[in-house]
Amino acid sequence: MSEIADHAVDRQALRRCQRQGLIWVAEEGNRTVGYVIAAVLDGNAHIEQVSVAPTHARRGIGRQLIAHVEGWGRRSGRPATTLTTFRDVPWNGPYYRRLGYRELANTEIGHELTTTMRHEAALPGMDSSLRCAMIKANRGAP
Ligand SMILES: CC(C)(COP(=O)(O)OP(=O)(O)OC[C@H]1O[C@@H](n2cnc3c(N)ncnc32)[C@H](O)[C@@H]1OP(=O)(O)O)[C@@H](O)C(=O)NCCC(=O)NCCS
């Protein structure tokens, strides 16, 4: 997946998210070791990107960043959290399933999430047949 790993960071988009208060980082000492970017899509909290430095992987940092977005969505009255990911990459689909997410059927995918998936499919190295959208309902939500 080198093409995907080589995607340049869109600094303008990052700054926009930062201004909107939609990025949270994990720090160790004064080093940033992970971050998560959120959005609101189709009325749900949406995890746009989550990333943890390989040097700090498998210590629960990713899980905490994801839980943070879920909590933010819950407090804002969002019924669920969504994300898009690779269905079978071990630290993508199977990882999110372990965190309580399930794959959305095509008929369940909302308009804004569909637009996001179309945009992602156009990025270099993305095989849309391997991608899926996932959702985790907030407790107490209908
Ligand atoms: C996905 C990601 C954020 C997880 O962060 P993390 O802090 O390592 O995750 P946690 O410590 O909360 O959970 C670790 C679990 O993730 C999965 N996992 C993480 N790295 C893995 C690897 N190299 N191989 C297999 N499974 C892996 C396992 O289920 C692992 O649980 P285990 O250690 O008990 O086996 C991180 O792997 C990452 O940044 N990946 C690259 C970017 C990416 O794929 N982002 C998601 C886009 S949808």
For the chain, give the percent of residues with pLDDT over 70.
Answer: 98
Q: Cα of 51 to ligand 1 centre, how many Å? A: 9
Residue whose Cα lies nearest atom 22 of ligand 1: it is 91
Is residue 59 one of the residues assigned to a domain? yes
> pLDDT, tens digit, for every residue of 104-137?
999 999 999 999 999 999 988 889 999 999 999 9
Note the pTM of the prediction, 2 decimals.
0.94
Phi-psi region of 111 (alpha: psi -120 to 50; beta: other; left: phi over 0): alpha
Is residue 53 one of the residues assigned to a domain? yes
C-beta neighbour count of 12 within 10 angstroms = 8
Q: Which atom of ligand 1 is nearest to the CA of 86?
A: 48
The response to whether residue 50 sits with its C-beta less than 6 Å from ligand 1 reads yes
- Which amino acid, one-letter code, is at 98? R
Tokens 């399930």 locate to 102
Is residue 142 one of the residues assigned to a domain? no
Q: Cα of 95 to ligand 1 centre, how many Å? A: 7
Is residue 45 one of the residues assigned to a domain? yes
> pLDDT, tens digit, for every residue of 43-101?
999 999 999 999 999 999 999 999 999 999 999 999 999 999 999 999 999 999 999 99
Q: Does the pLDDT value for residue 141 go beyond 90?
A: no
Count the domains in the chain. 1
Residue whose Cα lies nearest atom 39 of ligand 1: it is 51
Instruction: Output the pLDDT for position 18.
Output: 94
Nearest 5 degrees, angle CA 90-CA 6-CA 100? 25
Is residue 36 one of the residues assigned to a domain? yes
> pLDDT, tens digit, for every residue of 11-24?
998 899 999 999 99
Would you list the DSSP string of 55-92?
GGTTSSHHHHHHHHHHHHHHHTT-SEEEEEEESSSTTT
Tell me which residue range forms the domain holding 26: 2-137
> pLDDT, tens digit, for every residue of 91-105?
999 999 999 999 999
Instruction: Output the pLDDT for position 142.
Output: 59
Name the band, by pLDDT with cuts 50, 70 and 90, for residue 4.
confident
CATH number at residue 111: 3.40.630.30
Residue whose Cα lies nearest atom 46 of ligand 1: it is 50
